[in-house]
């Protein structure tokens, strides 16, 4: 038996079509997003973002953001 492998782009397109048909578009996107590693250096970005803030200030900002979203 001589099976010719399909190009990866064709396999990906077929798999996405099957997933979307079976799961729906939103759940397919949620499924695929779990395999994305993202980009950047979160640790360094966090250090820069909060460099001039104390822990109490960070927590107060988080609390204020949460209250704003709830209202």
Please check whether residue 51 lies inside any domain of the structure: yes
Please check whether residue 2 lies inside any domain of the structure: no
Please check whether residue 24 lies inside any domain of the structure: yes
Question: What pTM value is reported for the model?
Answer: 0.46
Q: What is the pLDDT of residue 51?
A: 94
33 and 49 housed in the same domain: no
Q: What is the pLDDT of residue 60?
A: 95
Give dist(CA 29, CA 46) in Å, integer: 27
Among residues 58, 42, 60, the alpha carbon closest in space to that of 50 is found at 58
Please check whether residue 62 lies inside any domain of the structure: yes
Tens-digit pLDDT string for the chain (71 aa): 678 899 999 999 999 999 999 999 999 999 998 887 778 888 999 899 999 999 999 999 999 999 988 88
Range of the domain at 61: 40-71
Q: What is the pLDDT of residue 38?
A: 74
């Amino acid at each position: 038996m001589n099976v010719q492998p399909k190009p990866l782009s064709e396999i990906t397109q077929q798999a996405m079509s099957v997933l979307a048909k079976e799961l729906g578009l939103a759940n397919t996107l949620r499924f695929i997003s779990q395999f994305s590693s993202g980009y950047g250096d979160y640790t360094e970005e966090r250090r820069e973002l909060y460099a001039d803030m104390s822990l109490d200030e960070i927590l107060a900002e988080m609390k204020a953001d949460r209250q704003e979203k709830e209202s």
